[in-house]
Structure formats: C-alpha cells, structure tokens
C-alpha cells in the first residue's frame, strides 16, 4: 500500500435528523476526487484505508457512516437506512469535495452502498471500484447468518449460536435483533461480540489474528452488530434483488469488480451475477483469497485499479 498519511481536513456533516457524520479528507487537495465506503454496515473507517490511493494523485474523502466510528450518536438505528447514507454521500460530494464526479470505492457492504449510490446518481460517478460483492439478497444473508457458511466453519458456528436458545434458531437474524435492541445490557453485549466475531474470524482464507481481533471492544462490537443486524432485518431498505435488477444504470460507468474465489462471507456467486448484469466492468477473481481487502492478491488488484483510474 501507499505510505501512511494524515488527513489534512476533517469535520462533521450535520444531517438535520439527529446524526453527526464524521468525515476526513486526505491526499492531494487538487487531485482526483474519490470516496471510500467502509464495510459492515457499522464498521467505520481506519487510517489504513487512506493507503489504497496514490496521495499525489487523489483527493480522498473517507467517512464513518451513521452510528459508527466517530459519527454520533453511537450505535443509533434511528434515521439509519441505505437511502439516508446515499443522501449523505451526495451531500459530502457537493459540500465537502465540491466536485461534480467522484470515483466510488467500496468493499463488502461498501460495494452494496456504492451500487445503490451509483444507480441513484450515475451522473456523479466517474468510476466504481468494488470488492467482495454483496447485493443484500435474502439468500446471501441466509448463507452467512443462517446456513451455508456453517458447513465450512462448524467450530466457529457453535460460538455464533451460543447466545441464542435452540427454540429461536430457525431465524437467527431476528433472534439476534431481539437481543441487540433489548434492554438487557449483558445480553446485548454477549450477542454483539458473538455476531461480530463470527464475521471477524471467517473473512480471510488463512487464519488472521489481526482480523480476529477486529471490533473486540464493547463499543465497536455494539455499533457493528446492531447496525449490521438492523440493515439485514429490514432487507437493506430495498426491494429484493434491486441492485442487480437496476445494474443497467451502471453500463456507462467504467468499473472494476474484484472477488476472492474462497470468500465465505460474500460468496463469489453474487460477484458473478453482477458481472453478468454489468459486463462492461472489468472482472477479476483472486484464486487464493477470501473476503478481506488486504489479502495479497486482492490488495494488488485494488491498488492497480485505483492507479489505473487516477488519470
């Protein structure tokens, strides 16, 4: 990756409905405008994400989506939907980046949000760089949170099941929602850590101690689990299959799709379906990677894509 850099400007976007969204700018103030969309939802940005862009050629905006990271109020689910986030991106483009077009970079849930934004505002997207594609269809959610991935990680699955009594395990997302939004703080945190660790321990092809420790503190785990589960219970606040059905809106936008062959979190089928619906985009399969952005083959292709579009 590019060397570590500091943000040269930061602030908060007042959304007008109770949220303060943290944002920062890094790189070259005169460079090509880009927006980085983090995963989760509920994960937040990290300094390492700044290093995916050439700081001499890009002016990059990173922001913590509603309720997570440095945004306020913490772990809030009110006024927190896909379309609120799309509106936040649009305001950040116009008011902070002050540009007509932006490169949009997103992985995992970030790819979902990037697709939603690009389909609503295609005129403002210069390019798309997407990784670990997630279209938020029910079969994708059920694969990872109800069945499917449990066959690959039965030992870790037991820990994910632990907070939920057997009689509620036929709908784990709903059962988790009950606990994550309940008033029992101990039960809430137990559910938050179990939900978060299930993902943190399964996103790489090879075991990664660093990833396994992701969102280990109570505050981070609670924001991640509550917000992610909130989006899944509400089906992403979209029609089923909407992002693939409306992929024709992307056909004039240059793009790159990067997918790990052994991604257990967002399996390759969704990336393939997007490739079929948006054949104009470059499509790359990493033969020895899972879901994480920093696995070597995936990272190499992500950097190649941002370099290519830097102009």
Catalytic residue among 49, 177, 215, 291: 291
Q: Which of 39, 5, 7 is nearest to 22 (CA)?
A: 7
Query: Cα(174)–Cα(232) distance, rounded to whole angstroms?
Result: 9
Q: Is 38 a catalytic residue?
A: no
Instruction: Look up 108 and say whether it is catalytic.
Output: yes
Q: Does the active-site annotation cover 263?
A: yes
Q: What's the token pair of residue 104?
A: 């949009």
CA 215 to the chain's CA centroid: 14
Distance CA 112, CA 266 (A): 11
Q: Write out the two tokens for 263.
A: 């991604």
Spot the catalytic one: 150, 263, 275, 284. 263
Pairing of strands 32-37, 58-63: parallel
State the Cα–Cα distance between residues 66 and 18, nearest whole angstrom: 10
Of the residues 108, 111, 150, 200, only one is catalytic, namely 108
Active-site annotation, residues: 108, 263, 291
């Amino acid at each position: 990756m590019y060397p570590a850099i500091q943000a040269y400007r930061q602030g908060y976007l007042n959304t007008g409905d109770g949220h303060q969204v943290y944002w920062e700018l890094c790189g070259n103030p005169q460079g090509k405008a880009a927006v980085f969309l983090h995963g989760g939802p509920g994960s937040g940005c990290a300094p390492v994400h700044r290093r995916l862009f050439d700081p001499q050629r890009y002016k990059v905006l990173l922001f913590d989506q509603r309720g997570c990271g440095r945004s306020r109020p913490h772990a809030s689910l009110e006024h927190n939907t896909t379309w609120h986030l799309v509106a936040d991106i649009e305001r950040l483009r116009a008011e902070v980046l002050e540009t007509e077009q932006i490169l949009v970079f997103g992985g995992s849930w970030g790819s979902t949000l990037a697709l939603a934004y690009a389909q609503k505002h295609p005129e403002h997207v210069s390019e798309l760089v997407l990784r670990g594609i997630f279209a938020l269809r029910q079969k994708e959610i059920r694969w990872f949170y109800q069945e499917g991935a449990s066959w690959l990680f039965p030992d870790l699955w037991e820990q994910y099941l632990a907070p939920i009594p057997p009689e509620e395990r036929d709908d784990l997302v709903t059962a988790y929602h009950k606990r994550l939004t309940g008033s029992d703080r101990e039960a809430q945190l137990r559910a938050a850590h179990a939900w978060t660790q299930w993902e943190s321990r399964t996103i790489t092809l090879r075991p990664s101690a660093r990833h396994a420790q992701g969102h280990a503190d109570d505050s981070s785990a609670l924001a991640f689990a509550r917000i992610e589960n909130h989006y899944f219970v509400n089906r992403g606040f979209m029609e089923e299959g909407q992002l693939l059905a409306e992929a024709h809106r992307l056909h004039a936008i240059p793009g790159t799709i990067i997918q790990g062959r052994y991604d257990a979190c967002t399996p390759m089928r969704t990336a393939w379906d997007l490739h079929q619906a948006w054949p104009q985009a470059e499509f790359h399969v990493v033969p020895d990677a899972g879901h994480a952005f920093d696995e070597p083959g995936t990272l190499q292709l992500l950097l190649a894509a941002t370099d290519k579009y830097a102009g």
